[in-house]
């Protein structure tokens, strides 16, 4: 399905231990105020279903997907374990034709935008799938925000690992560049926050569809 799938499959077993960090808890706390019980949500790159499972009781229905078969396997087992019936997990991509225009009140795009060379196409696709005034909620590591020596060193290491094809493609954003990219694709930013500042800036954005 995607040449990056083996990379994410390898990470699936220990994904939750690393993902449940300070940023994870902040995202949950900050996001819930935007949901209504009648909402239909799309969880783009849902990984092991961490956020979908957490938000299941806050919305009516969730479509959650990922390119990793192993991530989806874990996510489905969580839904069964927690007796959650309003999440549909699938191994697919954002381009799947089953996702229809103006179908979702909210699209979650957490820790995913930096993995796309064609970030503009991804943002436009999410805009297309959102209902009028729908929301995109994203959290992105802005790897171009070099605030500390550790941050600079981390960026250098990431660059080398990318060249060696050990890591998937990574796009280096500043916060301003990320905001401008989102706004250029038909969104109005309504909330921002720095969730983690070191070694890289984890930047949270809520943006509303305007066209």
Q: Which CATH architecture has domain 5-209?
A: 3-Layer(aba) Sandwich (3.40)
**Cα three-residue angle 140-200-187, rounded to 5 degrees:** 25
pLDDT in tens, 70-114: 999 999 999 999 999 999 999 999 999 999 999 999 999 999 999
Evaluated on CA atoms 127, 116, 202, 77, the torsion sign reads positive
Q: What is the pLDDT of residues 166-200, one digit of tens each?
A: 455 677 889 999 999 999 999 999 999 999 887 67
Give the pLDDT band of residue 47 (cuts 50, 70, 90): very high
Q: Give residue 51's pLDDT band: very low, low, confident or very high (50, 70, 90).
A: very high
- Assess whether pLDDT exceeds 70 at residue 49: yes
**pTM confidence score:** 0.87
Question: Which of 31-40, 108-117, 146-155, 202-211 shows the lowest mean pLDDT across its residues?
Answer: 146-155
Output phi, psi for 65, to 5 deg: -145, 160
User: Domain ranges in the chain?
Assistant: 5-209
Q: Give, in order, the Cα–Cα distances in Å from 86 to each of 5, 82, 89, 135, 138.
A: 26, 11, 10, 20, 22
CB 140 within 8 A of CB 200: no
| Residue-wise pLDDT tens digits, 125-144 | 999 999 999 999 999 988 87
């Amino acid at each position: 399905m995607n040449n990056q799938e083996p990379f994410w499959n390898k990470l699936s077993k220990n994904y939750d231990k690393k993902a449940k960090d300070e940023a994870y808890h902040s995202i949950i706390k900050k996001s819930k105020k935007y949901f209504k019980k009648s909402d239909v949500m799309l969880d783009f790159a849902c990984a092991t279903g961490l956020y979908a499972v957490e938000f299941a009781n806050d919305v009516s229905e969730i479509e959650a997907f990922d390119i990793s078969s192993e991530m989806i396997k874990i996510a489905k087992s969580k839904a069964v374990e927690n007796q959650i019936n309003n999440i549909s997990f699938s191994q697919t991509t954002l381009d799947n034709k089953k996702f229809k225009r103006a179908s979702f009140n909210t699209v979650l795009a957490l820790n995913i935008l930096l993995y796309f060379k064609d970030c503009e196409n991804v943002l436009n696709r999410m805009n297309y799938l959102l209902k009028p005034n729908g929301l995109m909620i994203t959290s992105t590591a802005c790897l171009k925000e070099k605030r500390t020596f550790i941050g600079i060193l981390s960026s250098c290491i990431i660059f080398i690992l990318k060249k060696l094809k050990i890591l998937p493609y990574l796009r280096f954003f500043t916060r301003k560049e990320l905001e401008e990219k989102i706004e250029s694709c038909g969104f109005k930013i309504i909330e921002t926050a720095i969730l983690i500042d070191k070694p890289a800036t984890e930047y949270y954005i809520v943006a509303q569809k305007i066209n």
